Structure 1
Amino acid sequence: MASYATRVRTDAARWAAEGIIDAKAAAAIVADVEAHDRRSLSFGSILAVMAALLFGAAILIFVAANWEAIPRLARVGALFAVIAFGYVGGAVLKLRDHAAIAEAVWLVAAAAFGGSIALIGQMYHLSGDETDAILTWCAGTAVAAAALRSGPLTIAAVTLAAAWMFLREVDFWRDTTFPYHFLAIAAVLWLISRWTGSARARHLLLLSLVLYGVLLAAETDILSVAPVLAAISAAVFGVAIALPGDVEKVARIDGMLPVHALLGFLTGMALTQFEIGDTAGPGFAIAAAATLAGIVAAVVLAGRESRGLRWIAYVGFAFELCLIYVVMIEGMLGTAGFFLVAGLILGLFALVVIRIEKRMAAPHGLQGASS
């Protein structure tokens, strides 16, 4: 698939040829898009980050190997040297306009910080929970991200926070409490992501909050938490649709908040239906109807602005039909009736989707003329 900049160059040339814009405007549009495209992730920067992740993995594995042949002070000093040279060297590279390499070096330094935590605990046999070490690693990475205004370090800090939350909850070998304060950690990381300008970190934080709702439901009571998750997600979706400009000023995720809200809604409703699915009673029917209604409302209200949202809605619709079939249909006659009804519903839904897609694909000017 062609990149955004490539498509704009093609479209700008076509617009100029058709007289929609002049050649000077076309050149200005292409220049602006290419300038912003160069500031985004390039193939070279992706390779640099991948190399940094490999170096970081090598450091962590080296620490895990318990290199007894090297004196303790030498081991600690080597890791601290990597941390110092990584952060300072990355800052120098950033000032010399080598941003991609600088971010990669900072990731190596962050990995060395995590390795030093593990090494010191290993050498001196410090007691404690491994998840506490991950949380300390997260805190150090977050401080570095804020100090250096680094997007990749912000993403790394969010990833470590999500890993801490998950491991804290699924730790079967210890009597650990649920990580309720992840919400406070997420709020701090959200502020850091605003400071560093990392929209990807905010996307990851929103997905982590959905995971938090799932883990909380599993820890406490699904029927007490899952409907609340769905209701909060629906409310966020409504606010994002009603006040898109104001919401985007806060979220700054390129108008993608409705997509995350739809994911949260579908997750909450799926958990609710799984919990009450054995009864196949009116409660399940109400939940299924609410899910289908929410999917249709999401496509109608926000489908035009987001192709990703439409695909999530379509997949959710198909999943809901399968879930209804598994829970409510019994016997061959019931199966045949289900497929008949489902075929009719799916056919009507396909007609609605086709009409919506055509309206979304139609130019705004033609729509206004036709109306």
Structure 2
Amino acid sequence: MAGYVDKVGQDIARWEARGLVSAALGQQLRDDVAANHGKGIGFGQVLAVMAALLMSAAILILIAANWEEIPRVGRVLAIFAVIAGGYLGGAFLKLRDHAALSEALWLVSAAAFGGGIALIGQMYHLSGDETQAILVWCVGTALAAALLRSPVLAAASVCLSAAWAAWPIFSFNLEVNAWYPLLLAALWAVAVWTRSLPARHLIVLSLVAHFTFLYLDTDQLLIPAVMALVSAAAFVASVRGGEIVDRLTRLGDGLAADALIGFLVGMFTLQFVFADSVPMFSLLAAANFAAIAGALIIGGKAGRKVRWLAYLGFAVEISFVYIATVGTMLGTAGFFLLAAIGLGVLAFVIIRIERRIAASATVQGAA
């Protein structure tokens, strides 16, 4: 964070030297940066959250060990003590303006809550399966996030919801939960209330994964096709819609990247289905190449995430085309020749786009 402050200070000094800002305004900008630079994510905050995650893992592993030598009442009281101590201690630290440490303690309490569910079910042989326990854990964490307005707990609740939805799949039972979008809708309200941008992005990506698994479960080609079309529309809206779309979605500049991911997943799914149909596969590949180029042209200014996702999508598409067509339409040598030409054209386009973006940023800065 200090590096950011130093860089901004150098920029302000240059603006003052060029007469772009007055000395008084420059000092106001320095004071504002100095007063607010600690509100970002620093190395100490990252370490605090990592420590909380390790502590959470330790609690869950300790519970899994079964504590046979400790009386049942003692085990339950210990878990409740960790939950209460974490939430109360986090609230105390929050009032003392130690946001990162308070979030870390709340995360430990949320983990202890999940461990408590497992412990009580383990000790008293309660009926139910793992998915029900994960759902209760998710709902409890979401309620805590809403009450405490904790963005970290909001993101954790979304992760737990994904675990709840994916548990049957990981258990080799491809049974997609039809209620999952409704749960994500409720978690979206929590994410907006807690101002958790990571939670909102996780919800969007969880929806992409949900509909992908839904297609694998139902074999309905309409699902990836609609996902690609809706994602393309969301991408255009995020680039062209400006502040209106930002206010509606609350996703900031990341909406374009999320939409591009959804589009690529939908298109790659369709191409995988039609891999044995040369005309259809070729049509989809051409459409994907054109869409990636269009994303770079109209959305390159949306941020580096969009550009790097487009570059990655192009590379994956090239690999996909090679795997699907080598030995049928193209020989290996011919494919590599065409791939070299394609990569050369892409490199030229990328260089032009990056230069145009840099030049546009320079002009706006001077204005």
Aligned-residue offset at 1:262: 0.4
1:133 alignment partner in structure 2: 133
Distance 2:254 2:220 in 1: 27
Contact 1:230 1:265 in 2 (8 A): yes
Aligned-residue offset at 1:23: 2.7
Contact 1:222 1:271 in 2 (8 A): no
Contact 2:53 2:107 in 1 (8 A): yes
2:83 matches 1:83: yes
Which of 321, 325, 335 matches 1:328? Answer: 325
Q: Tell which deviates more after alignment, 181-190 or 96-105.
A: 96-105
Which of 285, 288, 299 matches 1:288? Answer: 285
2:304 matches 1:314: no
- Structure 1 residue matching 2:143: 3-state secondary structure: helix
Taking structure 1 as the reference length, the TM-score comes to: 0.92
Aligned-residue offset at 1:368: 12
Q: Tell which deviates more after alignment, 8-17 or 294-303.
A: 8-17
> Alpha carbon RMSD of aligned pairs, Å?
2.2
1:355 alignment partner in structure 2: 352
2:300 alignment partner in structure 1: 303
Contact 1:48 1:104 in 2 (8 A): yes
Distance 1:271 1:3 in 2: 43
**Deviations 1:180-239 (Å, cap 9, x if unpaired)?**
111111111111111111111111111211111221121111633222221111121122
1:146 alignment partner in structure 2: 146
Q: 1:198 to 1:37 in 2, by over 3 A?
A: farther
Contact 2:239 2:302 in 1 (8 A): no
Amino acid aligned to 1:196: T
Distance 1:41 1:304 in 2: 25
1:119 alignment partner in structure 2: 119
**Deviations 1:42-66 (Å, cap 9, x if unpaired)?**
2222111111111111111111000
Query: Which runs of no fewer than 5 residues in structure 2 stay unpaired?
Result: none
Q: 1:275 to 1:5 in 2, by over 3 A?
A: farther
**Deviations 1:98-137 (Å, cap 9, x if unpaired)?**
2221111111111110010000100011121101101110
- Structure 1 residue matching 2:171: 3-state secondary structure: coil
1:158 alignment partner in structure 2: 158
Distance 1:113 1:139 in 2: 11
Taking structure 2 as the reference length, the TM-score comes to: 0.93
Q: 1:208 to 1:30 in 2, by over 3 A?
A: farther
1:219 alignment partner in structure 2: 217
1:198 alignment partner in structure 2: 196
Amino acid aligned to 1:49: V
How does 1:53-68 map onto structure 2 within 5 Å?
53-68=53-68
Amino acid aligned to 1:187: A
Amino acid aligned to 1:323: F
Amino acid aligned to 2:91: A
Contact 2:142 2:190 in 1 (8 A): yes
Distance 1:321 1:222 in 2: 26
Amino acid aligned to 2:323: V
Distance 1:122 1:310 in 2: 49
- Structure 2 residue matching 1:303: 3-state secondary structure: helix
Distance 1:128 1:262 in 2: 39
Contact 1:229 1:264 in 2 (8 A): yes
Aligned-residue offset at 1:30: 3.0
1:19 alignment partner in structure 2: 19
Q: 1:35 to 1:210 in 2, by over 3 A?
A: farther
- Structure 1 residue matching 2:302: 3-state secondary structure: coil
Contact 1:93 1:101 in 2 (8 A): yes
Distance 1:363 1:176 in 2: 49
How does 1:231-246 map onto structure 2 within 5 Å?
231-246=229-244
Count of aligned pairs between the two proteins = 366
Identity of aligned residues (%): 51
1:267 alignment partner in structure 2: 265
Q: 1:63 to 1:307 in 2, by over 3 A?
A: same
Amino acid aligned to 2:159: T
Amino acid aligned to 1:358: R
Amino acid aligned to 2:288: T
Q: 1:150 to 1:249 in 2, by over 3 A?
A: same
Distance 1:179 1:131 in 2: 11
